[in-house]
Structure 1
Amino acid sequence: MPERINIDAPLWDQSTFVGRFKHFLWVTDPRTCVVSEDTLDNAKILVEQYRNRSEPPGTSLEQVIYAKKLYESAFHPDSGEKQNVFGRMSFQVPGGMAITGAMLQFYRTAPAVVFWQWVNQSFNALVNYTNRNAKSPTSTTQLLVAYVTATSSAMGTALGCKYYWTKRASPFVQRYVPFAAVAAANCVNIPLMRQNEILGGIDCTDEKGKIIGQSKLAAAKGITQVIVSRITMCAPGMLILPVIMERLEKYPLMQRITPLHGPIQVMMVGCFLSFMVPTACGLFPQRCSLKTSTLAWLEPKTYENMKKATGDKLPERIYFNKGL
């Protein structure tokens, strides 16, 4: 057997943006969404065998790496359960391109705005639930409140912008109604979906991975970074594409194929998302850190508890998983 790899660690250096981009480009590959259930189950078995050094004789390193890719794209990192295919991060490109393309195309009437914002937030709710932190479970009531609130905020923002901009702005500016609604909804949806982390704190470790306490400040930092990532993920497609379509629709050819404007926008959004999904996921390290001096200033009680847990040998920084 060739040189062994750490089956539980990324293949690329996660301290650099390039390394994180490569990792998420690899693990969010949309092609993994069409892999059969049996193949996914066999990949999980091989990963577990390799972890225990009991893989079948003759197993190649390439087979192990591919199994690792399938496992990380389809199974929850905390619980090990197989995720719903529509909620996986690897489904962000096909799912996001269809919904975002529709939002950009059908923005002219209030019913269309309401419907597509509802579809988008339903999709986001599924993604957030699928990628939830298994160590901070969220009740059905909390999920329902988060879903209703995010959907309401998205539709309210979209309709408010539409009616305000209809009177004061050009048709071109009105194309940005969907982005304003999506950005507002993300600022509501994600904190509500992860409210248990904010209320109770998340596990924090030292450099060696030993848990030394829970911090609400760490949860707030991680959630803030996830919000920025999610908005960044959709921003280029929703901000640049209206400019492109505004120019294209002036050409005689585009005016003759009006029914194809929707599919064209969907494909163009897909091109943006193919690069923006790994880019947005890689903006911040998955293993986020926080200075203990900041903790002492903003969360003194937690700081004191961690000092006691480490015997007054609290490290300069603490580490935690920010989530996706």
Structure 2
Amino acid sequence: MPERLNIDGPLWDQSTFVGRFKHFLWVTDPRTCIVSEEELDKAKILVEQYRKHKEPPGTTVEQVIYAKKLYESAFHPDSGEKQNVFGRMSFQVPGGMAITGAMLQWYRTPFAVVFWQWVNQSFNALVNYTNRNAKSPTTTTQLLVAYVSATGSAMATALGCKYYWTKRASPFVQRYVPFAAVAAANCVNIPLMRQNELLYGIDCSDENGNIVAQSRFAAAKGITQVIISRITMCAPGMLILPVIMERLEKYRWMQRISVLHGPLQVLAVGCFLSFMVPTACGLFPQRCSIKATTLEWLEPEEYEKLKKKCGNNIPPLLYFNKGL
């Protein structure tokens, strides 16, 4: 009898960067965004049936793998709920390329800076909320405060850099205003959208998946890694593309097609993101870990709860979902 697929485990080794890159290249495939709701629901049903060894007779491994791909791309790993299509990581390439390309093209006026930063942070807020640790609920008020704070920080950073660099920097350096604003906003947006994790901690489990503790330090570690990943995701496109455009715009043929500069930058950003989305997501393991002894000196009250729950069998490592 052929060996069954581990439906809840990754297809590639997640202890290596290459394995994580392959996994996220597979699961963030933008083509999954146009799959119908009906097909997504059928994929979820097949995954659940396969998990219980009750899949329809004649189901092939290829069908199960494709259902697993659709399920992991569209449903939250904690709650199992279907995610908003615009907030899925698989929408990062089409959504990110359009917005980032626009920010890089239209940065010369204060209105353009403010408008595109607002659009970008609205998109980021949706992505951050969609990919949060779903076991840490956030109130509507907290979401609103996070959204306004992150959007305001992005606009303030962008306008501040714009006015400062306009007087002191060359037009080429001014092209980096969008990246400075995006990097600053990520440092505000993500922690605020996931503030409940920092306030109350997130579930930590042993190697068998049994929840044994809650940790604020684990939340801080996961959120920090997500911030680094998000900045890394957009960095190559927003740092390298201005250099390319600065060189190209000196040629007459490029000056004659100025109306196409925006679409060209959108396509170029898409090329960068196609590679950088799985790269950034794969920088750190999705199933992150901390040493149990860390709780002893950082969160002693949680360590006491852990000792009461596990007795003399305290696991050396505690695992948690860091989010995306």
1:130-169 superposed matches below 5 A: 130-169=130-169
Q: Secondary structure at the match of 1:307?
A: helix
| CA–CA distance in structure 2, aligned partners of residues 37 and 206 of structure 1 | 35
Deviation of 1:307 (Å): 2.1
* Aligned-residue offset at 1:139: 0.7
Measured after TM superposition, the shift of residue 29 of structure 1 is 0.0
Tell me which residue corresponds to 1:322.
322
SS of 1:59 mapped into structure 2: coil
Give 2:294's aligned residue. 294
What secondary structure does 2:213 align onto? strand
Q: Does residue 228 in structure 1 map to residue 225 in structure 2?
A: no
Q: Is the 8 A contact 2:154 2:185 kept in 1?
A: yes
Identity over aligned pairs, percent = 84
- Within 5 Å, give how 1:92-103 maps onto structure 2: 92-103=92-103
Structure 1's unaligned 5+ residue stretches are none
Q: Which runs of 5+ in 2 are unaligned?
A: none
* Contact 2:292–2:318 (Cα < 8 Å) also in 1: yes
Q: What is residue 184 of structure 2 aligned with on the other side?
A: 184
Instruction: Read off the aligned partner of 1:57 and give its amino acid letter.
Output: P
2: CA distance, partners of 1:286 / 1:81: 18
Distance in 2 (alpha carbons) for counterparts of 1:88 and 1:134: 14
Q: Please show how residues 29-178 of structure 1 align to structure 2 within 5 Å.
A: 29-178=29-178
Is the 1:110–1:159 contact (alpha carbons within 8 Å) kept by the matching residues of 2? Answer: yes
Contact 1:128–1:193 under 8 Å retained in 2: yes
Give the letter for the 1:311 counterpart: G
Residue by residue over 1:168-211, the C-alpha shift from the partner in whole angstroms, topping out at 9 and shown as x without a partner, is: 11100000000010011110111111111111111111222221
SS at the partner of 1:288?
strand
Is the partner of 1:203 in helix, strand or coil? strand
Give the 3-state SS of the residue equivalent to 1:255 in structure 2. Answer: helix
Q: Is the 8 A contact 1:2 1:61 kept in 2?
A: no
Aligned-CA RMSD value? 1.1
What is the aligned partner in structure 2 of residue 195 from structure 1?
195
Paired residue type of 1:90? S
The reply to whether residue 219 of structure 1 matches residue 222 of structure 2 is no
Provide the rounded CA distance (Å) in 1 between the counterparts of 2:257 and 2:214.
57
Q: Would you say the 8 A contact 1:83–1:130 is kept in 2?
A: yes
> Quick one: distance in 2 between partners of 1:291 and 1:27?
29
Measure, in 2, the Cα distance between the counterparts of 1:316 and 1:42: 39
**Separation in 2 of the partners of 1:26 and 1:141?**
36
Q: Distance in 2 between matches of 1:206 and 1:82?
A: 27
- Measured at CA, do residues 2 and 63 of structure 1 come closer, stay the same or move farther in structure 2, by a change above 3 Å? farther
Deviations 1:117-172 (A, max 9, x none): 00001111111222232211111111100000000000000000000000111100
- The question of whether the paired residues in 2 share the 8 Å contact of 1:2 and 1:60 is answered with no
2:271 — aligned with what? 271
Amino acid at match of 1:157: T
Q: Is 2:129–2:194's contact at 8 Å kept on the other side of the alignment?
A: no
Letter of the structure 2 residue corresponding to residue 137 of structure 1? P
Q: Would you say the 8 A contact 1:232–1:280 is kept in 2?
A: yes
What secondary structure is seen at the aligned counterpart in 1 of 2:212? strand
Q: Distance in 2 between matches of 1:276 and 1:264?
A: 18
Q: Structure 1 CA distance, aligned partners of 2:203 and 2:295? A: 14
Task: Report how many residues are paired.
Answer: 324
Give the distance between the partners of 2:206 and 2:83, measured in 1 at CA.
30
Give distance in 1, aligned partners of 2:309 and 2:45.
37
CA drift at 1:2: 4.2
Provide the residue aligned with 1:248 in structure 2. 248
Displacement after TM superposition at 1:294 (Å): 2.8
CA–CA separation in structure 1 for the residues paired with 2:194 and 2:200: 10
- Secondary structure at the aligned position of 1:319 is classed as strand
Aligned partners of 1:292, 1:52: CA distance in 2, in Å?
33
Normalised TM-score (structure 2): 0.97
Distance 1:179 1:48 in 2: 42
Deviation string, structure 1 residues 12-71 (Cα, Å, up to 9, x no partner)? 111111111000000000001111122111111111111111111111100110011011
Larger displacement relative to structure 2 (66-75 or 202-211)? 202-211
Question: Which is further off, 200-209 or 277-286?
Answer: 200-209
Contact residue 234 and residue 276 of structure 2 kept, 8 A:
yes
How far apart, CA to CA, are the structure 2 residues paired with 1:207 and 1:63? 29
